[in-house]
Structure 1
């Protein structure tokens, strides 16, 4: 059965490592065989002689909680992806893929998914606004990816808060990826791989305390019930104040349970449940002075104590089955039901001209300008029901090795938002503790639903795909894949929908075919070059949190009830990948071009006829570099850089042509180091550079407001008191740099301010 358990790991079908050394397991087998042969020989030579030998046991020393996808001895380097759709190691996959292992996440000191991804080259963070929800909002290579987040290969419903306490690794695929992931995925997709049971008993406890009243407790426990069943649990409690941001705070409660059961030598089941609750006092940022081109009062917190809140939740249950018909043919099936919630009232500061009741003048360049706080609120619930099946078949056809992956998926996603009434606002009374605010009432009162703004939607998706990786010879390998998606959309909005009527119902359905092609040339033992071409589609309404707000990716419908066709995305990529330092270090480089055609533009509304056009085109060209693994046995590295040229190449507004993308840093880089100075002591740190970012809406032109480039330094040191106990200190934003990482685009823009300096001590005990 142990051999069956190892069948799911993608291995190179092209050639074995030419410089590989024998493992301890192979040495044990060789020794055992030699001893057996020797005993047999002795018995044949002299049957009357009794030979008694001491029992010889050879065990391979491994870390109990080690990432099964990582390179032994180089924890920052990941070799394989978790999805059965990726049948080759990362170093042989003709596509840019960045994988962040849990070891790099822990050393970084970041715990929320948004904080981990914020540091990655080519990814920026967007703001929550009136048209889309506050929560994890990612922009990859200039394109929205907030609904392109997956957990173990299935979509994670809704815009919410995500944590890393139960994450084994984070896989970021770059460029259009519809053949692998379905709709959207213009700039890429994010897949969180959760921790699964292993073959070793262990318990790992971590206790963290730090500045800003930080406390964090996690327990990771793996229990092997017998040779067929193992159980893994992860528990989390965390609470802290946000550094230098007044009343802003974060609280996290989480649990994850996974059960791994080999029912037979060929049949395996995995059942897991994920639970997370976030209870925050949110930070809506600081106002932006468009005249001066800079933020106003960066150190001031504008939230409303006793009123603002942000509560999020996730409940996700998954059942997976894997059956091996033969060593070359297997099937995997996943069924998931998940629910996420996103509920908040958040104060958003902006600048207003003229007299503002309750407001006081501030020192901006324009006389008569005041800070006037507006508000955003949401009460949204997303549910997801999905089933995905993948067949994988390795075979020989026409004297060539083929690895086929074919499958199908059905999913139903639902969302509803019942926001709160604006009657909670008090335009004639400011907060006595924060007199610049155009404030919400403080404390007391009841959150009253506003049924006039109720919205609900349901989307059903049906998908089919076929992929084949063909090993032509030792030097050439070709990958090709096709995927067909049917996307049925229904939305109700307004009081009619809330009372169960259908007068406000709008329906739309789309079907689209996408593909991916790649060819890899590798006459060298350790490297290759590749060419890849891929496509994806953005159907109208795919950004569920926007509902019918077209400007933010919601459902678009013109005055005649006509819907636009899906936006089309193409990617061309030429790259190279090299295994260095005895396969302990992976170097990757790729030049790419992503083009979005038939870009949807909407005008009118609010009493005027809605006019839709699809003449827009957006293009990004760039270079991405990556280097992960061990430079020396003591020095580990996780580094990357992205250089992009973004441009609106066609538009129904001639003034927009030639503009760069909004919400995108065209230059970004990250270098994370860990140096094991002695067997007990390690030091390390991370330098993150983010270039200029302009405000603006998705698929639109940037505003004149631009966030300056910034560089952040984080440091880490770790000391092992024993093989079981170690302590780590993380200092984030060591220089206490005041920086900003997202900018809202409106006439009263605001910006998110990065966190100030903080320090954390973590005690880590494994037993």
Structure 2
């Protein structure tokens, strides 16, 4: 809080200092990234002309699926710090838990980095945006390019890379909950000819969040070198280290009644001060891209990551039946080491065949991951905790007692390899046809042991083929009408492939029909997109009641089916040269359309899915006043009613935030307030035992930004 007060005093004392941006004309100001005054923000800053959600760079207007791209300029304008800060900008996406989201009705926990697998924020940590240039969102099945995955869509984080232009940026941060932070990044050429360029970055932030006992400290170190190998070729080497220390922050929710009312303050926490979640991870990658002539491009990448998440925490286990003011707890000691290696290569070639231009794209990828979970759980003798008057300290000795227990280790091995081919046919300047096919081979294995003694082992190998087809019609260059059919698949859990249960079984499949329109009217000042879709997810395993158990093992069958239907609208526009507006709306209706009577499908209650809102609205608007070198912004989000995994109501909520950005000549100051009206709400639901995840109360943030 002290740092926030200092920033406020600094802003008041600097009001009399004329903003440097006032002394320049709009065109000159727009060329200087350090100034807040930019004429036509949607047209110049937020407009994205290339996305890599199709593995290679492509104009989103030529992609026959809904695509959203949020870049670093929007991060800065909104003061976004991690992935959860940008969900409100994405129609069809809402928060589920930790880094997981609900994506067109389906839970999705998987993220890609620069088009490859290897997420360093494993398990229960949220991706940070410090070293991210843009976030790309491909909605619907993405099996053609990314292999196994949820049919809701994928999120691809694109890293910042060395720049040909010299730049230095530093940010001082302060805010409520004793937040204080510092980040800096520098980039530019190493040699006078610009053959070698570099990027160095560092991030540190500390705060004591609103949940009791919690404290967060996060550090990121990022470095990269780019080497021009020829006129159009570049080799980029990058290394990033993440270090997070989260005290008492292996958070579950706060208990609620069946109507979704919190039973106590949202500050309540089942964790003791001695509990923790610490993440240390490293990511290294190399990427080479070049052009061969003027019609062929080639790129290849390799990515390796290694992460260890250590956590000791008290897990809530629901209310004590004898005393409804007490929450029962157990103590968990867990270590999660993960490492993975990924390779990728892509080639595109433009070829004229019988007077028609074909853009052939082919590629292959390979991924190998080893993930361990060492877990021991202490259930007896763990003291309960009061909801109305929690007294901490009595559970501080649980870690020592848990250390006497043996670890149960779950060793999961995952191998993925696939190859794809796509042809984009330019029938005319106005009509494009797209067709693609991919082959995937996967090998999964899970071994479980306790105290070194193996108690279970299962392996499974299979393959699948996915297809994608679409048509794009452009009545004019800035309007794109499209229709597409796309597929995805997810391997069945290795443990369910036992022959005793009737296995092996084919993967879960996802098929989507989508149609829509994308526009970039008035030279990009009005970007409006709309999409309507229907996704059918099949082959979900359930116990087959028509078959008798064999040797005491229930027989499974791919009985389950889920259908997701909806539409989305996204609008980004410059209302005036100084006034920009972003609005998005998503409607989704996801229901179970096939099941065995009396059985449930994962993440579903009855015929509905947990944390899948029917309606979600997000908006943000920014108005700049050049005369005073300042910009004023206002935003909000509405999420309709949902249910938790236990069927409890998750109440709808509407929250608002606002910010002021002021040019100071030597720097730029952002003052932001989130949840202006301090609304108490649940960001998502979890279970009756561990409650709902509360949304953050009213918070203040100040950033003093220096850019050279």
TM range (shorter): 0.7 to 0.9
The reply on whether 1:199 has 2:164 as its aligned counterpart is: yes
Cα separation, 1, equivalents of 2:293 and 2:392: 68
C-alpha separation in 2, matches of 1:138 and 1:206 = 29
- Structure 2: runs of 5 or more not aligned: 1-27
Match of 1:515 among 467, 480, 485: 467
Cα distance in 1, alignment partners of residues 184 and 268 from structure 2: 34
Equivalent position of 1:440 in the other structure:
395
Shift of 1:187: 0.3
Q: CA deviation at 1:557?
A: 4.1
Q: Which residue of 2 aligns with 1:285?
A: 253
Pick from 676, 697, 702: which aligns with 1:756?
697
1:435 positional shift? 4.5
The answer as to 2:350 corresponding to 1:382 is no
| Counterpart in the other structure of 2:503 | 562
Which residue does the alignment assign to 1:117? Answer: 87
How much does 1:117 deviate? 2.6
Separation in 1, partners of 2:590, 2:389: 40
The answer for the alignment partner of 1:107 in structure 2 is: 77
Q: CA 1:527 to 1:255, structure 2 compared with 1: closer, same or farther past 3 Å? A: same
Query: CA offset at residue 512 of structure 1?
Result: 0.5
Unaligned runs of 5+ in 1: 1-57, 128-134, 363-369, 542-546, 549-554, 697-702
The aligned runs of 1:668-707 (5 Å cut-off) are: 668-678=616-626, 680-696=629-645, 703-707=646-650
The structure richer in strand per residue is 2
Which of 173, 181, 186 matches 1:221? 186
Residue 558 (structure 1) shift: 6.6
- Alignment of 1:272 with 2:238, yes or no, is yes
1:87 to partner: Cα distance: 4.8
Q: Tell whether the 8 Å contact from 2:460 to 2:497 is kept in structure 1 after alignment.
A: no
Q: Give the secondary structure class of the aligned counterpart of 1:628.
A: strand
For normalisation by structure 2, the TM-score amounts to 0.87
Of 173, 179, 184, the match for 2:149: 184
Tell me how far 1:452 sits from its aligned partner: 5.2
Q: Does 1:250 align with 2:216?
A: yes
- How far 1:636 sits from its partner (Å)? 2.1
In 2, Cα distance between the equivalents of 1:176 and 1:567? Answer: 12
Please say if residues 332 and 375 of structure 2, whose CA atoms lie closer than 8 Å, have aligned partners that are also in contact.
no
User: Counterpart in 1 of 2:491?
Assistant: 539
**Partner SS for 1:414:** strand
Structure 1 residues 228 and 140: alpha-carbon distance in aligned structure 2, compared to 1, 3 A threshold: same
Once the two structures are superposed, the pairs formed by residues 20-31 of structure 1 within 5 Å of their partners are none
Determine the structure 1 residue equivalent to 2:101. Answer: 138
CA distance in 2 between counterparts of 1:400 and 1:478 reads: 11
Q: Is 1:263 the counterpart of 2:262 in the alignment?
A: no
Tell whether 2:115 aligns with 1:150.
no
Residues 598-653 of structure 1: per-residue CA shift (max 9 Å, x gap): 11235999x96344231111011101001124332212233211011111111102
Q: CA deviation at 1:446?
A: 7.3
Q: Deviations over 1:303-347 (max 9, x none)?
A: 333332111232110011123221211211101111123322333
CA deviations on 1:669-700 (whole Å, 9 max, x unpaired) are: 1101111122611010221111111112xxxx
- 2: distance between equivalents of 1:73 and 1:628? 9
User: Cα distance, 1:265 vs. partner?
Assistant: 2.0
Q: Structure 2 matches for 1:618-633, cutoff 5 A?
A: 618-633=562-577
Secondary structure of 1:295's counterpart equals: coil
2:50 counterpart residue number: 80
The correspondence of residues 474-513 of structure 1 with structure 2, limited to 5 A, is 474-495=429-450, 498=452, 504-513=456-465
Give deviations 1:530-584, integer Å, cap 9, x for gaps. 101100001123xxxxx85xxxxxx654744723321110000010011123223
Cα distance in 2 for partners of 1:210, 1:59 equals 29
Q: How many residues align?
A: 662
Shift of 1:268: 1.5
Root-mean-square deviation over aligned CA pairs:
3.0
CA pair 303-110 structure 1, distance change in 2 beyond 3 A: farther
| Aligned-partner SS, 1:91 | helix
Is the Cα contact below 8 Å between 2:376 and 2:405 reproduced in 1? yes
Distance in 2, matches of 1:217 and 1:438, equals 33
Q: Shift of residue 235 of structure 1?
A: 0.8
User: Is 1:174–1:188's contact at 8 Å kept on the other side of the alignment?
Assistant: yes
C-alpha deviations, 1:224-274, integer Å up to 9, x for none?
11211110122100111213x222232210011111110222431000011
With over 3 angstroms needed to count, the CA separation of the structure-2 counterparts of 1:340 and 1:138, relative to structure 1, is farther
Answer whether contact 2:91 2:569 (CA < 8 A) is retained: no
Separation in 1 of the partners of 2:416 and 2:441? 5
Q: From 658, 681, 684, give the equivalent of 1:742.
A: 684
Q: Is the 8 A contact 2:560 2:595 kept in 1?
A: yes
In 2, Cα distance between the equivalents of 1:94 and 1:182?
18
Partner of 2:419: 464
- Kindly state the Cα deviation for residue 760 of structure 1 after the two structures are TM-superposed: 1.0
Residues 482 and 351 from structure 1, CA distance in 2 versus in 1: closer, same or farther, beyond 3 angstroms? same
- In structure 1, the partner of 2:581 is 637
Distance 1:432 1:177 in 2: 44
CA deviations on 1:452-497 (whole Å, 9 max, x unpaired) are 521111111111100111111022111111111101011110237x
Question: Is the 8 Å Cα contact of residues 469 and 480 (structure 1) preserved in structure 2?
Answer: yes
Q: Quick one: distance in 1 between partners of 2:581 and 2:30?
A: 26
Give the distance between the partners of 2:55 and 2:465, measured in 1 at CA.
Answer: 17
Residues 87 and 403, structure 1, Cα contact 8 Å, conserved in 2? no
Q: Contact conserved, 1:304 with 1:442, CA < 8 A, in 2?
A: no
Contact kept, 8 Å, 2:181 with 2:206, in 1: the verdict is yes
1:168–1:299 distance in 2 versus 1, CA, 3 Å: same
Q: Is 1:397 aligned with 2:359?
A: no
Q: Indicate which of 648, 653, 659 corresponds to 2:607.
A: 659
Distance 1:71 1:684 in 2: 13
Seen in structure 2, the aligned counterparts of structure 1 residues 302 and 85 have a Cα distance that, compared at 3 Å, is: closer
Aligned equivalents of 2:630 and 2:188: distance in 1?
Answer: 30
In the alignment, what sits opposite 2:481?
529
Determine which of 294, 309, 313 is the counterpart of 1:327: 294
Identify which range, 586-595 or 573-582, moves more after superposition.
573-582
What is the CA–CA distance in structure 2 between the aligned matches of 1:678 and 1:60, rounded to whole Å?
12
Conserved 8 A contact 2:179-2:208 = yes
CA contact (8 A) 1:557 1:610 kept: no
